[in-house]
């Protein structure tokens, strides 16, 4: 699939908001990564060096096969064409500095290789809010997500994004991460898996 744009939703799981010390009543955050950030399964992730911790954020990812503006929440899931798992890699130390300085997040979120992405599974009306997924690093469980814990459902995210952008086929949404984010090191192996989606592995270089 040709990816047109990558939207990312932040602060979408209460327990993750808490682990980063963010205010629980803040709105969901929206940011973007260029499609050039994608790392397909089987290709090594080149971690940035000398810029502090690189954190994994395991996320459900959906791809749209259509869209439009001002999409009603009841109509939103009609535009989902496929789903998978992905990593919203984040330079956490740099993000904290940028947040403190009130600066934008591109440097900590949109660097090369910041969006490892699994293989797409065609969407056939599965309940996207009843999925379970796990992230292991070197075999140790780091994140265990339940999409029912999302503060903003996938349908709500599509509704929100469509108020600002005319959504279209090829738009991809990283839907936020559950708790358990942590650092990756060169030599680590990271896997994402979900019974409904599959198992994907990357090595970090």
Asked if 57 touches Zn ion (CB under 5 A), the answer is yes
Q: Which stretch binds Zn ion (CB under 5 A): 129-137, 154-162, 170-178, 195-203?
A: 170-178
Q: Select 88 or 171, whichever has its Cβ closest to Zn ion.
A: 88
Question: What Cα–Cα distance (Å) separates residue 58 from each residue in 71, 75, 98, 167?
Answer: 27, 27, 22, 24
Q: Select 170 or 178, whichever has its Cβ closest to Zn ion.
A: 178
Q: Which stretch binds Zn ion (CB under 5 A): 49-57, 97-105, 115-123, 178-186?
A: 49-57
Phi, psi of 200 (to 5 degrees): -130, 140
CA 78 to chain centre: 20
Closest separation between CB of residue 16 and Zn ion, Å? 8
Q: Select 143 or 177, whichever has its Cβ closest to Zn ion.
A: 177
Instruction: State the residue number with the nearest CB to Zn ion.
Output: 88
Closest separation between CB of residue 75 and Zn ion, Å? 26
Q: Select 88 or 136, whichever has its Cβ closest to Zn ion.
A: 88
Q: Would you state the structure tokens that stand for residue 126, as one six-digit string?
A: 């599965």
Alpha helices in the chain (DSSP H): 14-19, 92-101, 106-109, 154-161
**Paired strand residues for 31:** 8
Asked if 88 touches Zn ion (CB under 5 A), the answer is yes
Chain position carrying tokens 């984010």: 181
Question: What Cα–Cα distance (Å) separates residue 188 from each residue in 72, 139, 156?
Answer: 42, 10, 35
Q: Which stretch binds Zn ion (CB under 5 A): 120-128, 129-137, 161-169, 172-180?
A: 172-180
Angstrom distance (rounded) from CA 199 to CA 153: 23
Phi, psi of 98 (to 5 degrees): -65, -40
Q: State which of residues 84, 95, 157, 177 lies at the interface with Zn ion (CB under 5 A).
A: 177
Chain position carrying tokens 């898996």: 193
Closest separation between CB of residue 176 and Zn ion, Å? 6
**What is the contact surface with Zn ion in residues (CB under 5 A)?**
57, 88, 177
């Amino acid at each position: 699939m040709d990816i047109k744009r990558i939207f990312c939703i932040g602060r979408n799981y209460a327990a993750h908001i808490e682990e980063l010390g963010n205010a629980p009543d803040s709105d969901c955050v929206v940011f973007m990564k260029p499609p050039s950030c994608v790392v397909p399964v089987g290709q090594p992730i080149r971690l940035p060096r000398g810029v502090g911790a690189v954190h994994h954020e395991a996320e459900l990812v959906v791809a749209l096969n259509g869209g439009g503006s001002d999409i009603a929440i009841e109509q939103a899931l009609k535009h989902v064409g496929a789903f998978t798992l992905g990593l919203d890699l984040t330079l956490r130390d740099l993000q904290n500095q940028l947040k403190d300085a009130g600066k934008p997040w591109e440097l900590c979120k949109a660097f090369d290789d910041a969006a490892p992405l699994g293989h797409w599974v065609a969407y056939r009306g599965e309940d996207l809010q009843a999925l379970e997924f796990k992230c292991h690093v070197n075999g140790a469980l780091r994140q265990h997500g339940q999409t029912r814990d999302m503060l903003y459902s996938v349908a709500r995210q599509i509704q929100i994004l469509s108020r600002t952008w005319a959504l279209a086929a090829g738009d991809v949404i990283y839907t936020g991460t559950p708790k358990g984010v942590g650092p990756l090191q060169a030599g680590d192996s990271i896997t994402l898996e979900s019974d409904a989606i599959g198992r994907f592995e990357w090595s970090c270089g």
